[in-house]
């Protein structure tokens, strides 16, 4: 399978080819004679654990940095000089997990940034700019109002705008870096439909994702990197999931084996009691309990209300009615500090915007919820902070040279472990997690799910709000939400089909 391209013979040169790419950062080898070949019109997956070299390859394929050795070819021709940014834009674009759209500008202004039409007076012709933007979106079937502010767009709409902007420069090779990390199932389906439509128009995609089921759904070919090296390239249809995971990890993964855990004893005390919770327009009549040592899932598609319920429990939202009781105490509604004081730990949905302070160290990020334990009289003891952080770093197996490293220097999987460490720092009675394995590699996902299981076994109640089936498999039961209500409760051992059907509202009476 290695570099076989499935035995297919294509007369056209590859849309892009990276040949024997090596890149070092000091003593660290980020890429070691790695290579990839993407044929015209393909959707080609690039997968691997965090630290495998994917991000480094993307930076080289987009001209952000040069390899130490090796070369990049576009349609058989050498890549442009790094200084020629316009030439790179005509060859390749990347839609990143973190949007590069400028929130304060309109869609039209973002699409035509630095390419504004000007009249005789030298002033910008706004009418012409908006018309060019409409024409561009129409060509690529993107249904977005050109006068809308980018900050008001959904994640899905921003991605479509970024793709359209890339295509407007002439690029027909688009890199999608974790494009589904913040999308619900319906938005993912629309994105994949758009990708297929663009393929028919000659657009080629490199698809980077940790969600292996998406690779099988949308991609033609897959390339695996491991430990900075190319491992295999094969047609997706010819590579069973188990073999793909083994290629990524070097061994089989426990995610292929159905998870099971011993449910807490029936007499276990209630650590979370949610009664009659309502927030107008988002959810209503939410009632459930979580026992000590129990893991309860909150499942649902986008707009179901699952995320908002979880955020209400941790104090990010103030419900209009109902009660939240944590281990016998009632925190003030809509107050995060009060929820923490009552014993709530929290892993948010988006680690980049909600979970981490990128400029701060690993030690500061892991301990920021427990300032009272870091010193006295308002003074911080760095020795005490680093000792606590060191314990958390060991407990979560965070790969860092030390507690002082800026958290931005960690891989995605290790950043998520830092978020988890902070959630556990105050020894919570209730742990609330929203899509806890989003954007991490297979091994990190397995580790994080095992950690949730371990924490629950020690007596903490946990809520996992997610539409990722692997996240929900560890739950003792799953509450399914649809249009702001709990519509089903499923014990462990549920079938994928039944859970997904309930999440899509198929259990709701017509």
Tokens of residue 488, six digits: 């089903």
The sign of the CA dihedral 174, 178, 179, 180 is: positive
268 against 349, higher pLDDT = 349
- How much of the chain is helix, strand and coil, in % rounded to 5? 35, 25, 40
Please give the helix or strand (H or E) that residue 135 lies within, else none: helix 126-139
- 333: number of Cβ within 10 Å: 18
CB of 187 closer than 8 Å to CB of 145 = no
Nearest to 506 by CA among 480, 468, 473: 480
**87 lies in a domain?**
yes
The H or E element spanning position 159 is helix 155-168
* 234 in the same domain as 88: yes
353-408 residue pLDDT tens: 888 888 899 999 999 888 888 878 778 788 889 899 999 999 999 988 889 899 88
Residues 211, 298: one domain?
A: no
* pLDDT above 70: residue 486: yes
Strand partners, 78: 73
In this structure, what token pair is assigned to residue 166?
């890339």
What's the pLDDT score for residue 510? 33
For residue 231, pLDDT beyond 50 = yes
Q: Closest by alpha carbon to 425, among 376, 369, 364?
A: 369
- Report CA torsion sign: 449, 454, 460, 461: positive
Nearest partner of 373 among 326, 325, 340, judged by Cα: 340
- Residue-range definition of the domain harbouring residue 224: 5-99+175-250
Which range, of 161-165, 216-220, 301-305, 427-431, averages the lowest pLDDT? 301-305
- The mean pLDDT value for 129-138 works out to 87
In three-state form (DSSP H/G/I as H, E/B as E, the rest C), the secondary structure along 361-376 is: EHHHHHHCCCHHHCCC
| pLDDT at position 9 over 50 | no
Based on the fold, state whether residues 88 and 190 are members of the same structural domain.
yes
Q: Are residues 441 and 478 in the same domain?
A: yes
Residue 205 shares a structural domain with residue 322:
no
Residues 132-159 have a mean pLDDT of 86
Residue 451 lies in a domain: yes
- Asked if pLDDT for residue 311 goes beyond 90, the answer is yes
| For residues 264-271, average pLDDT | 72
CA distance 432 to 184: 19
**344 burial type by CB count under 10 A (0-12 exposed, 13-18 middle, 19+ buried):** buried
Share of the chain above pLDDT 90, in %: 49
Pairing of strands 77-78, 69-74: antiparallel
Same domain, 464 and 339: yes
Residues 236 and 320 in one domain: no
CATH number at residue 326: 3.40.50.300
Residue 332 sits in the same domain as residue 435: yes
CA distance 176 to 93: 9
pLDDT-based confidence at residue 444 (cuts at 50, 70, 90) = confident
- Residues in CB range of 377: below 8 A, 6 or more apart: none
Interval 156-185 mean pLDDT:
84
DSSP state of 100: -
Give mean pLDDT, residues 251-263. Answer: 53
User: In the structure encoding, which two tokens stand for residue 180, read together?
Assistant: 């589904």
Q: Is the separation of the CB atoms in 33 and 68 below 8 Å?
A: no
In a domain, 194, yes or no: yes
Domain boundary among 198, 220, 250: 250
Query: What would the two tokens of residue 371 be?
Result: 């300032």
The C-alpha atoms of residue 383 and residue 8 are separated, in whole angstroms, by 60
Determine, yes or no, domain membership for 293.
yes
How much is the pLDDT for 214? 87
CB neighbours of 121 closer than 8 A, spacing ≥ 6?
none
What average pLDDT score do residues 339-364 get?
A: 89
Is the pLDDT confidence value at 89 over 80?
A: yes
Q: Is residue 168 part of a domain?
A: no
372 CB-near residues (< 8 Å, 6+ apart): none
Query: Between 301 and 217, where is the model more confident?
Result: 217
* Model pTM above 0.75: no
Residue 285 forms part of a structural domain: yes
Mean pLDDT rounded to a whole number for the chain: 86
Q: Write the DSSP symbol of residue 254.
A: G
At residue 509, the pLDDT reads 39
Residues 81, 21 share a domain: yes
221, 250, 279 - which closes a domain: 250
> Is 349 part of any domain?
no
**Same structural domain, 274 and 338:** yes
Domain boundary among 250, 281, 307: 250
Check if the beta carbon of residue 324 is closer than 8 Å to that of residue 312: yes
In this prediction, residue 253 carries a pLDDT of 46
Contact residues for 225 (Cβ-Cβ < 8 A; gap 6+): 34, 46, 47, 48, 52, 53, 54, 57, 231
The Cα–Cα gap between 42 and 49 comes to: 23
Does 193 share its domain with 241?
yes
Count of domains for the chain: 2
- 128 is a domain residue: no
User: Is the domain of 302 the same as that of 237?
Assistant: no
- Helices 155-168 & 185-200 angle (0-180, nearest 10): 20
């Amino acid at each position: 399978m290695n570099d076989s391209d499935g035995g297919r013979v294509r007369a056209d040169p590859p849309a892009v080819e990276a040949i024997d790419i090596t890149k070092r950062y000091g003593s660290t080898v980020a890429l070691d004679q790695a290579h990839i070949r993407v044929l015209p019109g393909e959707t080609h997956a690039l997968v691997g654990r965090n630290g495998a070299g994917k991000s480094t390859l993307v930076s080289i394929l987009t001209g952000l940095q040069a390899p130490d050795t090796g070369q990049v070819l576009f349609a058989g021709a050498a890549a442009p000089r790094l200084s020629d940014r316009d030439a790179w834009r005509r060859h390749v674009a990347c839609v990143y997990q973190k949007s590069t759209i400028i929130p304060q500008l309109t869609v039209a202004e973002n699409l035509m940034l630095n390419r504004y039409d000007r009249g005789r007076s030298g002033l910008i012709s706004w009418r012409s700019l908006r018309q060019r933007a409409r024409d561009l979106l129409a060509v690529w079937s993107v249904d977005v109002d050109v006068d809308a502010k980018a900050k008001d767009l959904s994640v899905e709409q921003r991605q479509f705008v970024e793709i359209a902007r890339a295509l407007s420069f002439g690029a027909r090779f688009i890199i999608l870096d974790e494009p589904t990390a913040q999308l619900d199932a319906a938005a993912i389906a629309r994105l994949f439909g758009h990708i297929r439509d663009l393929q028919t128009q000659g657009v080629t995609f490199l698809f980077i994702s940790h969600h292996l089921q998406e690779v099988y759904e949308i991609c033609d070919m897959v390339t695996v990197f491991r430990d900075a090296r190319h491992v295999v390239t094969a047609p997706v249809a010819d590579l069973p999931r188990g073999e793909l995971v083994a290629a990524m990890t070097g061994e089989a993964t426990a995610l292929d084996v159905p998870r099971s855990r011993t449910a807490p004893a029936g007499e276990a005390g209630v650590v979370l009691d949610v009664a009659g919770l309502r927030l107008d327009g988002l959810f209503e009549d939410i009632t459930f309990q979580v026992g000590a040592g129990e893991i309860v899932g909150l499942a649902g598609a986008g707009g179901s209300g699952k995320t908002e319920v979880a955020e209400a429990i941790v104090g990010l939202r103030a419900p209009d009615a109902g009660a939240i009781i944590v281990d016998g105490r009632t925190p003030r509604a809509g107050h995060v500090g009060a929820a923490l004081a009552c014993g709530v730990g929290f892993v948010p949905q988006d680690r980049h915007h909600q979970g981490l302070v990128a400029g701060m160290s690993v030690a500061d990020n892991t301990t920021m919820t427990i300032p009272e334990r870091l010193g006295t009289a308002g003074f911080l003891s760095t020795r005490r902070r680093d000792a606590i952080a060191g314990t958390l770093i060991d407990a979560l197996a965070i790969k860092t040279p030390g507690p002082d490293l800026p958290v931005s220097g960690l891989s995605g999987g290790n950043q998520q472990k830092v978020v988890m460490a902070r959630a556990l720092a105050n020894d919570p009675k209730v742990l609330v997690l929203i899509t806890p394995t989003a954007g991490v590699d297979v091994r990190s996902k397995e580790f994080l799910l095992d950690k949730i299981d371990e924490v629950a076994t020690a007596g903490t109640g946990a809520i996992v709000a997610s539409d990722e089936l692997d996240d929900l498999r560890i739950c003792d039961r799953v509450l399914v939400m649809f249009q702001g209500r709990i519509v089903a409760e499923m014990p462990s051992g549920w079938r994928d089909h039944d859970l997904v059907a309930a999440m899509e509202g198929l259990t709701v009476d017509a």
